[in-house]
């Protein structure tokens, strides 16, 4: 029987859109967030409110999480008034980017309460969450995944990547490392061209018609760098966190990542210069300052 009731904890910039998509598809959704405004907004769209993660987990058998950092995921899952204290919950889909280590810790703790944990990180940004075009990377118990496929399909394109806790997280970290690396190298290449007198918009056209095209030149630069908005929608601090988690897991697995270490360093510099809340396209601003030029559309 298809499950129609879901809980959603963490309805920020990504989670709010994901929860709303479930509502529009006809699912019943109970929501909790530390932001009362976020809760009230979704209640106005048909959601049921809850006063804690535990209350969400007492209202439904299936809880989804969309939270910003690993420590928050662990606390919301396992601390007092957390998901683990819910009386009804049977499975948790974690759409956050926690890294595999925390995923395994949370999975093991929830298992002691007979609650199944599945990684469910997503990629595609705010637009993907709003439009239901996210890449959804799931790992965990296949039977549970199959049961909830109708709801997950409302979020985007599904990929079942493995049956062990943490495997979805590794897939997400690999993706986010590449996204950040593309932004770093594209910034260096375009700034070099601008200083030599090339037109940056034309540079992007050439690159995107050739072998150098990537997610930064195709999407991030036109939308957030040429416009000088630096507002693509992903925080520098979160990108730094993801790359740091990726390098930590690579080290744990014995995989050297010297280029990844440079990407992390560039994000650290950007975070120090413009703040953790700055958009990660601000990497381009760092390179601009060093070179003494600006990329202008």
Q: Are strands 91-94 and 62-65 parallel, antiparallel or unpaired?
A: parallel
In whole angstroms, what is the distance from residue 167 CA to residue 5 CA?
26
- pLDDT score for 296: 87
Looking at residue 119, what is its pLDDT?
Answer: 95
CA–CA separation, 297 vs 289, rounded Å?
17
Spell out, as residue ranges, where the chain has pLDDT lower than 70.
Answer: 1-3
3-state secondary structure of 63: strand
Place of tokens 């925390």: 102
Domain 5-165, architecture per CATH: 3-Layer(aba) Sandwich (3.40)
pLDDT of residue 2: 52
CA distances from 121 to 97, 128, 282 (A): 6, 13, 24
Q: What is the reported pTM? A: 0.92
What was the pLDDT predicted at 1?
A: 39
- Predicted local distance difference test score (pLDDT) of residue 259: 98
Give residues with Cβ within 8 angstroms of 84, minimum separation 6: 54, 57, 77, 78, 109, 110, 113, 115
Q: Could you tell me which residues come within 8 angstroms of residue 122 by beta carbon, excluding any fewer than 6 positions away? A: 14, 18, 95, 128, 129, 134, 135, 136, 137, 155, 156, 172
* Marked catalytic residue, from 172, 220, 241, 271: 172
If one looks up domain 170-291 in CATH, what number appears?
1.10.1040.10
Annotated active-site residue 172? The verdict is: yes
Q: So where are the chain's domains?
A: 5-165, 170-291
């Amino acid at each position: 029987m298809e499950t129609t009731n879901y809980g959603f904890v963490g309805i920020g910039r990504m989670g709010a859109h994901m929860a709303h998509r479930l509502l529009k598809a006809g699912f019943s959704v109970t929501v909790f967030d530390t932001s009362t405004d976020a809760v009230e907004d979704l209640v106005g769209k048909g959601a049921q409110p809850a006063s804690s993660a535990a209350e969400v987990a007492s209202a439904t058998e299936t809880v989804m999480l969309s939270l910003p950092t690993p420590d928050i995921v662990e606390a919301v899952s396992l601390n007092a008034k957390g998901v683990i204290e819910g009386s009804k919950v049977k499975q948790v889909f974690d759409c956050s980017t926690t890294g595999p280590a925390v995923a395994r810790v949370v999975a093991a703790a929830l298992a002691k309460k007979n609650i199944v944990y599945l990684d469910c990180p997503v990629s595609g940004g705010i637009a993907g969450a709003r439009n239901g075009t996210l890449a959804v990377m799931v790992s965990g118990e296949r039977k549970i995944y199959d049961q909830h496929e109708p709801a997950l399909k409302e979020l985007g394109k599904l990929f079942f990547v493995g049956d062990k806790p943490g495997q979805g997280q590794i897939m997400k970290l690999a993706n986010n490392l590449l996204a950040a690396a593309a932004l770093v190298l594209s910034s260096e290449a375009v700034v070099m061209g601008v200083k030599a007198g090339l037109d940056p918009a034309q540079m992007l056209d050439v690159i995107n018609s050739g072998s150098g095209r990537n997610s930064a030149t195709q999407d991030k630069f036109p939308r957030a760098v040429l416009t000088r908005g630096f507002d693509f929608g992903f925080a520098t601090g979160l990108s730094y966190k993801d790359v740091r988690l990726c390098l930590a897991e690579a080290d744990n697995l014995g995989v050297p990542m010297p280029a990844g270490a440079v990407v992390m360093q560039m994000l650290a510099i950007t975070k120090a210069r413009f703040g953790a809340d700055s958009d990660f396209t601000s990497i381009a601003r760092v390179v601009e300052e060093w070179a003494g030029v600006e990329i202008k559309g």
